[in-house]
Amino acid sequence: GAVVSQHPSRVICKSGTSVKIECRSLDFQATTMFWYRQFPKQSLMLMATSNEGSKATYEQGVEKDKFLINHASLTLSTLTVTSAHPEDSSFYICSARSAGLNSYNEQFFGPGTRLTVL
Amino acid sequence: GEDVEQSLFLSVREGDSSVINCTYTDSSSTYLYWYKQEPGAGLQLLTYIFSNMDMKQDQRLTVLLNKKDKHLSLRIADTQTGDSAIYFCAETLNAGNNRKLIWGLGTSLAVNP
């Protein structure tokens, strides 16, 4: 149980285009979803936290107009990288948490999406 | 501010024990976690410990928590080549209505045959 999927797993796009990444909780309802960015050989950088039905809370330094997050249902959140540039190339990982799933507040992680902007 | 620190690399021989260390700063953390990331993959929760515990054992894994020194360690007994991965220590941070994780940089464990 507690599986999180991401789609696509890998995307290559041209500079200036927008890319949408989907994160789905497959067998539980995710009251909160998190979007992370991971650079090579580095830790996860939390970009934003989204609660279903409300606006995402962005971390300091993350442009909300650049990285649009929508958490429209309890099983789906999307991250749209608008007007992507090569510096946006990275590994994007989502995670999901359910208030009622366990007592230790575990986040369940998707497999990640590798974005390459040419 | 909040900060989690780990050593970046560890190399062990197959069959030996591995010990990965982590220090954190937020004394109000309720849970501390160890996650494993294999190359090109997402993160998998290995184990966690509640802040009022000193030790937790789960098969080959032993977690030790020294709350006074804010030090967390993960011991992997009889380390196998399949244990080669990056291990992240994380602590919970209560931030308003959200609880978020603060991550270390990860320790890259290399297991040599």
SS3 string of B48-107?
EEECCCCEEEECCEEEEEECCCCEEEEEECCCCHHHCEEEEEEEEEEECCEEEEEECCCE
- Chain A residues at the B interface, defined by Cβ less than 8 Å, are 4, 6, 32, 34, 41-44, 46, 49, 51, 57, 93, 95, 104-112, 114
Digit-coded pLDDT (tens) for A99-109 = 766 666 678 89
B110 touching A (Cβ < 8 Å): no
Q: Is A65 helix (H, G, I), strand (E, B) or coil?
A: coil
A32: nearest CB among B41, B88, B98: B98
Residues of chain B falling short of pLDDT 70: 1-2, 94-98
pLDDT at B29: 75
Tokens of A17: 């285009």
Q: Does the beta-carbon distance from A105 to B31 stay under 8 Å?
A: yes
**What is the percent of chain A where pLDDT is above 70?**
92
Q: Residue B103: its chain A contacts at CB < 8 A?
A: 43-44, 46
Contact A56, A66 (CB under 8 A): no
Question: What mean pLDDT is predicted for residues A58-81?
Answer: 93
End-to-end CA distance of chain A: 37
A 10 A CB-CB count for B11 gives 11
Minimal-distance CA residue of chain A relative to B48: A104
Longest alpha-carbon distance in chain A: 43
Per-residue CA distances from B21 to A9, A33, B17, B26, B84 (Å): 32, 28, 13, 16, 16
B68 torsion bin: left (phi>0), alpha (psi -120 to 50), beta (else): alpha
| Entry field: residues in chain A | 118
A 10 A CB-CB count for A81 gives 23
> Which H/E stretch holds residue A92?
strand A90-97
Residue pointed to by tokens 């591995």: B18
B103 touching A (Cβ < 8 Å): yes
- Under 8 Å CB-to-CB from A17, ≥6 apart: which residues? A83, A84
Per-residue CA distances from A86 to A89, B51, B91 (Å): 5, 42, 32
What is the band of A3 on the pLDDT scale with cuts at 50, 70, 90?
Answer: confident
Long-range contacts, stretch B54-60, CB < 8 angstroms, 24+ apart: none
Q: Is the pLDDT of residue A43 over 90?
A: no
pLDDT at A42: 72
Nearest in space to A48 (alpha carbons), one of B88, B98, B41, B24: B98
